Structure 1
């Protein structure tokens, strides 16, 4: 399965209808697909605008792969449908919502979660990473972090290129450089590298209300039935769970735009 999942959910598909925040996400069907029902408020965006909501965690390697495949899908979309203006918005999901603020040793985390299979699992992910241009350096990671603060910095970033730069910076820092995301100085460096003013970033690091909102966003995703990431939602019409190939993501985009046009 090309998705990161919480330890409680294992590999099972979400098979129930769950209501959250006045929006409804229908259960996954074969192929890990989901269609958002009529009870979910329809977007007020123009017909040629495509909203792409990505539920993700910065410590999920499949989410990094999914980001690369999404980027290729968007490049294909630009060629095939140049009239479409896509907007990507990143949303919070914590693989380990109960992780202590100080995190834990990466070796202990991998052993506790995967047992003796950890090395084989990450070798497979590394192989897929190479296919999309990611040189995962799992051996550099020394600490498994709590990701609330990282998600908070992403949440306050403006959707589009600014938020994309923040997400990319966190993926790179963790998976390529092996940086410790529990350290405030590291978080500030990452935020600054993505274009955020360092003093502003420091204020966000100390904003407990913002962190609480981030935790609530994670809970909302679970209440919607999302148990694995990445999870892509196109125009609030079509959802895909997992780091699908670019062609599949593109198909989901087109289906969502067609559904939106039909509803309008």
Structure 2
């Protein structure tokens, strides 16, 4: 259920912090967590420009048994939470956290609850094949495609269009989807922390400090500083 990618932030290398992030594209808290992490990395650079930060992305499918073509999104959540009122209350909670992270979620635009396997495999493929893009850029575009544009990120056509927009090579991308279409039952590789992940987003800082949930940028910075034994600047 897992695939791994990496993003590097170029800073002086006197100290280093590695953040492993476990996520799924259908989780709005993961998009919020990503934006908070982005803000934390920027803030840490202003506090400690001597610290280098590497972010490694690990896919974690929340619903691996979802049909390949997905299911109707709105009906899925009504059945899951019990009533339209419960769905509205949950979305209001998520929207408040998203706004604090600078994100406006467009739940009403989403029509399909997708199987995210193909999206995760696209990110893993784009990374391992040496494509000249940052994984975080593709991940962010898949998140916004789903939660803001309401795109069906389980559709190969949608994924191919997003990949092209992110600068992936058209011929190699087409070959990827032709090949992956014959390997739908393949298990994605596990991350080193897979057994400890109970929910997403799940952050592990320097293989030691775990944060489960969409923590604030300040809390993430504190964890990164603790991981290198430095809170003097906080």
The verdict on a shared fold, with TM-score over 0.5 as the criterion, is: yes
C-alpha distance in structure 1 between counterparts of 2:216 and 2:154, whole Å: 32
C-alpha distance in structure 2 between counterparts of 1:161 and 1:130, whole Å: 28
**Deviation by residue 1:21-69 (Cα, 9 ceiling, x = unmatched):** xxxxxxxxxxxxxxxxxxxxxxxxx761221111000111000000111
Alignment map for 1:183-198 (pairs within 5 Å)? 183-198=155-170
Counterpart of 1:83 in structure 2 is: 50
Contact 1:90 1:154 in 2 (8 A): no
State how many pairs are aligned. Answer: 211
After TM superposition, the structure 1 stretch with the greater mean CA deviation from structure 2, 151-160 or 136-145, is 151-160
Return the offset for 1:161. 6.2
Q: Please state whether the residue corresponding to 2:26 is helix, strand or coil.
A: coil
C-alpha distance in structure 2 between counterparts of 1:63 and 1:213, whole Å: 22
Q: 1:239 aligns with which of 180, 191, 210?
A: 210
C-alpha distance in structure 1 between counterparts of 2:57 and 2:110, whole Å: 24
Counterpart of 1:204 in structure 2 is: 176
Contact 2:63 2:115 in 1 (8 A): yes
TM-score, normalized by length of structure 2? Answer: 0.83
Q: Please state whether the residue corresponding to 1:157 is helix, strand or coil.
A: helix
Q: Please state whether the residue corresponding to 1:217 is helix, strand or coil.
A: coil
Alignment map for 1:113-128 (pairs within 5 Å)? 113-116=80-83, 117-128=86-97
Contact 2:118 2:156 in 1 (8 A): no
Alignment map for 1:42-57 (pairs within 5 Å)? 48-57=15-24
Distance 1:210 1:232, change over 3 A: farther
TM-score, normalized by length of structure 1? Answer: 0.74
C-alpha distance in structure 2 between counterparts of 1:47 and 1:210, whole Å: 43
Contact 2:71 2:114 in 1 (8 A): yes
C-alpha distance in structure 2 between counterparts of 1:51 and 1:104, whole Å: 36
Q: 1:177 aligns with which of 134, 140, 149?
A: 149
Return the offset for 1:189. 0.8
**Deviation by residue 1:202-260 (Cα, 9 ceiling, x = unmatched):** 2322325587242x438x765x121210011111121110001111111111122239x
Is 1:229 aligned to 2:203, yes or no? no
Alignment map for 1:117-156 (pairs within 5 Å)? 117-156=86-125
Return the offset for 1:86. 0.7
Counterpart of 1:108 in structure 2 is: 75
Distance 1:232 1:128, change over 3 A: same
Q: Please state whether the residue corresponding to 2:154 is helix, strand or coil.
A: coil
